[in-house]
Amino acid sequence: MTLNIKQTTEADLSDIFKVQAEAFGYEKEAKLVESLLGDPSANPKISLIAYQEKKPVGHILFTAGKIINSNKKVSLLAPLAVIPEYQSKGIGGMLIKAGLKHLTELDFDFVFVLGHPTYYPKYGFIPAHSYGLKAPYPIPEIHWDAWMVQALNGTDLTSTQGTVVCADELNRPEHWRE
């Protein structure tokens, strides 16, 4: 498989929308990505798209956030999408690794994700609640393992505690409910 992962430009917007909508089976995430890409509070953001030859097959977005009363540089991974016929081929993992590389180069301290608790640990994510790092909105205790963090650039996970605040478009309660 010849896969090309690149940072997105405005020329990729229709491909991003298509991947997000097809991967999730509806347009909610696609519209969220569109809003986040236009949200100045999400900067710096990393938006990567994967092409199989000329076909868009995956997309990942990382947006800026912060931890209340902390100066740590924080990013949130949301969302990750791979179109159905290309899932389980490692594309999601390649997108995550490429994004983490960019975040490391930009000196981020932490990256957070609310996601499947058996998928993201493969890429170094661990439950955040056990470190006193809370999601923007309460997560039921039964789902605490889905709120995950990864420390970057040698940052000590025990050095900071608090509640994460996302970019304006992501920091809405409807994005944090089941």
121: cis peptide before it, omega within 30°?
no
Predicted local distance difference test score (pLDDT) of residue 126: 98
Contact assessment for residue 163 and residue 136, using Cβ atoms and an 8 Å cutoff: yes
Distance (Å, whole) CA 176 – CA 65? 15
Reported as a single tens digit per residue, the pLDDT across 13-25 is 999 999 999 999 9
Give the three-class secondary structure for 90: coil
| pLDDT for the residue 115 | 95
The whole-number pLDDT of residue 1 equals 66
| pLDDT tens track for 86-102 | 999 999 999 999 999 99
2 Cβ contact partners less than 8 Å away, ≥ 6 residues apart = 52, 53
Please compute the mean of the pLDDT values over residues 58-69 and round it to a whole number. Answer: 97
Residues 125, 146: Cα–Cα separation, whole Å: 10
Classify burial at 173, counting beta carbons within 10 Å of its beta carbon; exposed 0-12, middle 13-18, buried 19 or more: exposed
